[in-house]
Structure 1
Amino acid sequence: MRYKDHSVIVTGAARGIGAAIARSYAAEGARVILADLLVEQGERTADDIRSGGGQARFIACDVSREEQVVALIARTVEHYGAVDILINNAGIADPHQASFYDLTGDQWDRVMNTNAKGCFLTSREAAKIMRLNEQGGAIVHISSTRALMSEPHTEAYAASKGAIASLTHAMAVSLGPDGITVNCIYPGWIETGDYRELREIDHAQHPAGRVGKPEDIARACLYLTDSVNRFITGAGLVVDGGMTVKMIYEP
C-alpha cells in the first residue's frame, strides 16, 4: 500500500491503459480520480475499483477544454483535499485512414489539442495544487514510441506525442524548484483488445518475446511516481518490449 492516502488523477481512464493505471494505483491504496469523456465506461471502471475495495471517483472531462480541466482539478481537491500525482494518459489518434495529403487543419488541431494541449492544461492546474504539498508531486505524461519513429500517415499523432516529450523536459526544469517531478513514458505496442487473438509473429517480433499489456505501462507509472525515485525527472522511459531498438516492424 505504498500509495496509501495519495490523491491520483488519471486522464483517459475509462478503458485500456488508463483503466489499468487507475486500478494499479487504487490497489496500492491511492484515492483515484478517473477522468474521461466516456461517461458510462468511466463510471463502470470506477464502480469496479470500488467493488474491489479501492477508492475511486469518475469525473467527466474533455482535457482539451480549459474550463473543464480547471473544474476537474477543483473537484479533485474538493473530494480528496490534494493532488499528489497526475498521469496524463488521455489521447486520440489521427483520423482513420486520413493520409498526409488529406489531413485537414481541423483534424490536426483536434489531435494536438487533446494530446499536447491537454497535457499542458492538466499539468498546469494540477501543479498549482502540488506545489502546496510538503512533498511536492509527480507528473507522468504518456507519449508513444511514435514520437521516435513512425508509420505512414500518422503526422498529427506523431507530432502531438513529440510535443509531449518536449513538454516533459521543459516542465521538469520549471517545476523542479516546487518539488514536482515530471517524466514521460513511450509505450510501444500495448494490446488493449483480446490478447488471445494475437498471432505468434506479433509476439516474436518483440525482443522481449511478447506484445505489451496495459499493466506494463501501469507498473512504469508506479515506478516513476514512487517517492524513492524522486531523483528521476525529465526522463523518457521507453516501454515497448525492445521494438524501437529493433528499428523495423515485420509484416
Structure 2
Amino acid sequence: MSYEGKVVVVTGAANGIGRSIAVAYAAEGASVVLADIQEAEGAAAAAALRQEGRNAVFASCDVRKEEDIIRLIQETVQEFGRIDILINNAGVSRWKSPYELKLEEWDDVLNTNVRSCFLAAREAARHMTELGIPGSVVNISSTRAVMSEPNSEAYAASKGAINSLTHAMAISLGKDGIRVNSISPGWIETQDYESLRPEDHQQHPAGRVGKPADIARACLYLTHPDNTFITGANLVIDGGMTRKMIYEE
C-alpha cells in the first residue's frame, strides 16, 4: 500500500466525494482524518472504516471558522505526530438569481469554499514545514470555474478563486517542499447513479457520468510521493464534457 504511514486530512468527508476520497486513502494504508460539520454522518463514516481494519478518526469542523481549522490541524498532529496530505473538499452552493442573492449568502459560499482552502492549507503547511515533511495539498474546485448555468454566481466565483489560489500557493509553498494542486470535477453523481438516463451518459465523450471514485483516484495520483513534478496544476475530471461543442439545431 503506497500510503502506509501517511496521514491525510479530508474536509467535507461525511458524504459524497469527500467520503470516497477518505475511503481511497484508507484503503491504501493511510491514517485518515474525516472532517465535517455533519457529526453523525462523519462519525459513522469513520466508524465504518475502522470496522474494515482501517485507521480513521472523525473530527467535527466548521471550515467557515478559522479556530475550527486551526484546531483540526493541531489535533491531527497531536494524534498522529504528522500531517502529509490535505484534501480541501468541503463546499456549499447557492442557486439563486443575482437579483435575489443576499450578501450573507454570497459570503457564506466564498468563506466555505475558498477561504477555508487558504486557511487549512496555511495551517497544514506550517506543520509540514516544522516537521520537514514534503507535503501535498489538493483543493477540490469545479468545471463551473470556467463554464456556468444561470444563477450560479457565488459558486462559480468561489471555484474560480480556488483555481487561482492553488497556483499562487504552489509558488509560495514550493520552497518548503509542499505541492499544491486542484481538481475540477464535472458531473459527479453522488446520489442515485442507477437512476441516470441514457442521455445523461451520452452527453459525456467518456460515455458515462462521473462517480466519486473518479475524483478519489485523481487525488491519489496528484499526492503520490513519486509525482513531485506536479504542482500548481488543475486537473479537469469531467469525462470530456467541457471539451464537447454543442450546436443548437
TM-score using structure 2 length: 0.98
| Matching of residues 170-249 of structure 1 within 5 Å | 170-248=168-246
Q: Where does structure 2 lack aligned partners over 5 or more consecutive residues?
A: none
SS in structure 2 of the partner of residue 32 of structure 1: strand
- Which residues of 2 match residues 1-251 of structure 1 at below 5 A? 1-94=1-94, 96=95, 98-248=96-246
Aligned letter for 1:238? V
Deviations 1:51-98 (A, max 9, x none): 11111000000111001111001110111111100000000011x4x2
Runs of 4+ off more than 2 Å: 132-135, 247-250
Amino acid at match of 2:42: G
- CA change 1:205–1:155 in 2 (3 A) is same
Give the CA RMSD over aligned residues. Answer: 1.2
Q: How high is the sequence identity, in percent, across the aligned residues?
A: 61
CA-CA distance at 1:247 after TM superposition: 4.3
Distance in 2 (CA, whole Å) between partners of 1:249 and 1:225 is 38
- Offset of residue 249 of structure 1: 10
Structure 1 alignment gaps of length 5 or more:
none
Query: 1: CA distance between counterparts of 2:77 and 2:40?
Result: 23
Distance across 2 between alignment mates of 1:131 and 1:222: 22
* 8 A contact 1:205–1:249 mirrored in 2: no
Partner SS state of residue 10, structure 2: strand
The number of residues matched between the two structures is 248
Once the 2 structures are TM-superposed, how far is the Cα of residue 248 of structure 1 from its aligned partner? 4.6
Letter in 1 for 2:60: A
Q: TM-score, normalised by structure 1?
A: 0.97
Q: Which amino acid aligns with 2:180?
A: V
